[in-house]
Amino acid sequence: MLLAQTHLLNGTRTKVNFKKVLGPLWVSVIFFLVALVILSAFRLGFVIWQADRVSTIHDFLSIMINGLRIDTSSLCYLFLPPILVTLLCYNINKGQALLQHFLMFWYTSSIALLVYLEVITPTFILEYDLRPNRLLIEYLIYPKEVFSMLWTGYKLEIFISLSMLSLTIITTIKLFKLSWIAKADTRIKYKVCISIVLVITLILGARSSLGHRPLNPAMVSFSTDHLLNDLTLNSSYSAAFAIKQMSLENPSSKYYGKMNQNKIIELVRQNTLSDIKDFSDDTFPTRAIRHASYSGKPKNLVILLQESLGARYVGHLGGLPLTPNLDKLMSQGWNFTNLYATGTRSVRGIEAVITGFTPTPSRSVVKLDKSQRNFFTIASLLKQSGYHTQFVYGGESHFDNMKSFFLGNGFSDIVDLDNFAKVDFEGSWGASDEDLYDQAHIEFEQLQKQNQPFFSLVFTSSNHSPFDYPDGKISPYDKEKNTRNNAAKYSDFALGQFIKKAKSSSYWQDTVFLVVADHDSRVAGASLVPIEHFRIPGVIFGEDIEVKSDNRLVSQIDLAPTLLSLIGIGGSTPMLGHDLTQYIPISKQRAMMQYDKNFAYMTSKDVTVLQPHKKARAFNYVEKKLIETTVSTDMSERAKAHVLFGSLAYQKQWYQ
């Protein structure tokens, strides 16, 4: 019996029996601890089984400690409903018989499910090198085929799983009966206090974070080995998270209507620069051989992705005089004056610049489940070519699932706030852009000394609400300090400081640089798609980059193939973007923009807009305004094919 000494009263030591104080809550405490031990024990077993991949103490501790966090969060979610019901009966002292049956069913079912999913995990890992995830859920759609497959090839596994399930149910029922206490021997005021504390604890435990977002797999990802990151989870959490992700992945055809799959492939292929003979693999229908325009020693590649920097903040593009350093770069490099972002979120910009993927009405592939590994990125191609691939960010890299996506798709090195050598100013989103560039410079110098070709994506954050930046760095454009304009000006100042260092560095002559925005800030307008708010700056520069102003219509998805061409890396890729080192006929110049559920396909002549469950509409884009005109069947089909392609390629996993 669990007893605790609490206080002395008239010289007599008073003892509290926590089992009687908690009453029907006691069984929840027991099962919470039992479930925690079960999940930890299975995880330890899997770590021992995979000891050749869990090769360091750091790996082991990361898996076990973060795993405990995941388990606690999972169980808080799982136990919250029965505990809320229990608290109701606990405070009114009624309904104990009904409560007993409910809790026995809930906890028996829950423990059985937890154990069952862990028991089948080794088989799943052997097959897919992952914990049970969306594949498990998708298989449930085809019970006949799946059960037939299991019975044919997995009889022993079925026997073990069912045996463990039966044993778990029997043991759980016995444990429940031993732990059950019908009534609590506690005053009502203490019951209320216990109830409040318990509910708050469960909510905080479920979130497992005091930040903007609750715990998610990205927060506990630490390795380029996807299995190690998966071992940190438990299989129930992995499956539940997959269900949540699947609910957010409506295909484009649900919004814009269907089109024959072969027609989609035909139309998107036609708009590339590749000949039909270059598409040789029907398994990956947009994969084609690309040849680099540069044939010398492969160069390093650095992409400086600018947070929320629309053309309206860039003097060289007719915007406010906030970016003198970028303006100077644009006059010294290959400057794109007619470049358009694919969306309005950072992860959409990352999607376009790093993968060349077309936008969809769904969330960015950075956050979707099926694209967390084996999804094409320029990092994966460059890693195969011997490059060190790196992401440098001043904040926490798990934000927006970036860390998980990058580690699963070619990035071998994540450098975020915790890894910075020095931080002079830390704002709401992490280290200032100056600190970011200082760290990036350190990384590049070290890699250059090692004679290691490298690709680095450097993502700024100072130009983000609430616009924190250090004092005394700029002459403010606005009187109030923390404004969008002042933050943009500071971010440009930090860029200028970095460029000065880079030009005198050991890596300058061997590196191609791109400065590009992820998107504009606060994209809004009365138009179906506010086209002007998708216009962003972009400039490629470096030792051997030709100085020119490029007025062609360019999309963010064109940048990745262009950069690979400039650094001398060819190969087979699934990207639909153009290599801008080549001649692009006006008929094939286009930009694609996703604005919530509206999709715009822009050419030099017009803009076709697709809306959910409506007919296509066409516009002339004149003086930053959309003037409606007659819809072209050819253009509406091209637009529809491109917006449907993304979802189709994602669902069928063509983009590898």
The pLDDT assigned to 146 comes to: 73
The pLDDT assigned to 9 comes to: 42
Confidence of residue 112 (pLDDT cuts 50, 70, 90): very high
pLDDT at 226 over 90: no
For the entire predicted model, the pTM comes to 0.81
Tens digit of each residue's pLDDT (9 = 90 or more) over 533-577: 999 999 999 999 999 999 999 999 999 999 999 999 999 999 999
Q: Span 247-271, mean pLDDT?
A: 92
Q: Span 383-391, mean pLDDT?
A: 98
Confidence of residue 4 (pLDDT cuts 50, 70, 90): very low
Tens digit of each residue's pLDDT (9 = 90 or more) over 577-596: 999 999 999 999 999 999 98
**Domains in the chain, start-ordered, CATH in brackets?**
19-246 (no CATH), 292-548+563-584 (3.40.720.10)
CB of 577 closer than 8 Å to CB of 356 = yes
pLDDT at 336 over 60: yes
Instruction: Give me the active site residues, please.
Output: 346
Closest to 423 (Cα-Cα) out of 457, 460, 462, 394: 394
The pLDDT assigned to 91 comes to: 77
pLDDT at 136 over 70: yes
The pLDDT assigned to 144 comes to: 66
Give the chain's mean pLDDT: 92
The pLDDT assigned to 221 comes to: 87
- The full DSSP string for 130-196 is S-S-HHHHHHTT-HHHHHHHHHHH-HHHHHHHHHHHHHHHHHHHHHHHHH---S----HHHHHHHHH
The pLDDT assigned to 244 comes to: 84
Please, what sign has the CA dihedral across residues 130, 132, 133, 139?
positive
Tens digit of each residue's pLDDT (9 = 90 or more) over 262-316: 999 999 999 999 988 888 788 999 999 999 999 999 999 999 999 999 999 999 9
pLDDT at 142 over 80: no
The answer to the question of whether 307 is labelled as a binding residue is yes
| Distance separating the N- and C-terminal Cα atoms of the chain | 60
CA–CA distance, 540 with 336 (Å, rounded to integer): 9
The pLDDT assigned to 11 comes to: 45
CA–CA distance, 42 with 46 (Å, rounded to integer): 6
Phi, psi of 430 (to 5 degrees): 120, -155
Helix (H) / strand (E) element for 4: namely: strand 3-9
% of the chain exceeding 90 in pLDDT: 76
The answer to the question of whether 435 is labelled as a binding residue is no
Scanning the structure block, which residue is given the tokens 């016995």? 174
pLDDT at 339 over 50: yes
Amino acid letter for position 112? A
The answer to the question of whether 464 is labelled as a binding residue is yes
Tens digit of each residue's pLDDT (9 = 90 or more) over 156-167: 888 999 999 999
Tens digit of each residue's pLDDT (9 = 90 or more) over 491-504: 999 999 999 999 99
pLDDT at 433 over 80: yes
% of the chain exceeding 70 in pLDDT: 96
pLDDT at 653 over 80: yes
The pLDDT assigned to 181 comes to: 85
Confidence of residue 485 (pLDDT cuts 50, 70, 90): very high
Q: Span 222-241, mean pLDDT?
A: 91
